[in-house]
């Protein structure tokens, strides 16, 4: 009986705006991976470059300054109408501070016209730090860090830390746990878009779905589940469970728009 009353109370809170903060959670969180960046295009889905000249000298940026490609700019623009139609106006948008997430946000939120939506930068949602092998071609990685691949094979995708960089365990346990605590406190009862990165989205899912270590390792090995550019992961508040629950994963926004022009 008490459980039914609690579910009923939570349901009432969802539909009465001034009661929503009492839920202790946002009612909707949409994680949006940035659109295709210039580096995404150059890497073409591979872990390392094969040659130095795959990225021209003038296009070599630090990770936080990598811009979108021309295709990525179009992806963001054509994702906006789909997101507006599907979710309406968010109460707030959060981005990681990296240029590609800011450009994706601008492209998507252009579909909302002059409507004011608060935008916050939270660098805890940034991509994992790649470390010393950043922009290093595979032959150079193998020459300078010969043990990295055997080490990675032994330790696994979650705990392995690239030389000078972060493991996914670092991302989740040292950054995202605190970021989620602030998200729940600041945006309880709100609808939030978070513009972030592929590995961060995977870590967020591991946290929200309360995955065991074995489940996390299995999830990371399934490369088909890697977040795609301008894809969304959607969590909604469940009155029955009293927490955020996964509703949608890896839906590519711009592919849902029948007006999307593929001839860039």
- The binding site for substrate consists of 100
The encoded tokens of residue 100 equal 């590609």
Give the count of beta carbons closer than 10 Å to the beta carbon of residue 9: 13
- Angle CA(73)–CA(31)–CA(94) in degrees, nearest 5? 80
- Residue 183 CA to residue 31 CA, distance in Å, equals 13
**Burial profile 233-264: b = 16 or more Cβ within 10 angstroms, e = fewer:** bbbbbbbeeeebeeeeeeebbbbbbeebeeee
Q: Could you tell me if 82 and 257 are in contact, meaning their C-beta atoms sit under 8 angstroms apart?
A: yes
Read off the DSSP letter of residue 176.
I
Q: Could you tell me if 205 and 171 are in contact, meaning their C-beta atoms sit under 8 angstroms apart?
A: no
What's the longest Cα–Cα distance across the chain?
A: 67
Give the count of beta carbons closer than 10 Å to the beta carbon of residue 44: 9
Task: Kindly report the three-state secondary structure assignment for every residue of 38-67.
Answer: HHHHHHCCCCCCCCHHHCCHHHCCCHHHCC
- Residues tagged in the binding site annotation: 100
């Amino acid at each position: 009986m008490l459980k039914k009353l609690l579910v009923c109370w939570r349901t009432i809170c969802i539909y009465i705006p001034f009661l929503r903060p009492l839920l202790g959670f946002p009612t909707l969180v949409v994680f949006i991976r940035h659109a295709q960046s210039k580096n995404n295009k150059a890497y073409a889905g591979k872990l390392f470059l094969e040659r130095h000249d795959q990225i021209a000298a003038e296009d070599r940026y630090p990770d936080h300054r990598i811009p979108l490609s021309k295709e990525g700019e179009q992806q963001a623009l054509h994702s906006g109408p789909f997101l507006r139609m599907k979710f309406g106006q968010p109460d707030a948008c959060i981005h990681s501070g990296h240029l590609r997430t800011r450009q994706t946000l601008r492209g998507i939120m252009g579909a909302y016209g002059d409507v004011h939506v608060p935008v916050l930068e939270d660098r805890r949602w940034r991509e994992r730090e790649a470390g010393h092998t950043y922009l290093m071609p595979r032959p150079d990685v193998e020459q300078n860090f010969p043990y990295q691949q055997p080490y990675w094979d032994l330790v696994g995708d979650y705990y392995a830390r690239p030389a000078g960089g972060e493991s996914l365990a670092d991302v989740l346990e040292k950054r995202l746990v605190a970021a989620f605590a602030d998200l729940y406190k600041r945006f309880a009862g709100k609808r939030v878009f978070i513009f972030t990165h592929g590995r961060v989205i995977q870590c967020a899912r591991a946290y929200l779905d309360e995955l065991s270590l074995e489940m996390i390792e299995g999830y990371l090995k399934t490369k088909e589940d890697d977040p795609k550019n301008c894809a969304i992961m959607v969590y909604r508040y469940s009155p029955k469970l009293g927490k955020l629950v996964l509703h949608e994963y890896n839906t590519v926004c711009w592919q849902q728009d029948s007006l999307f022009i593929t001839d860039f």
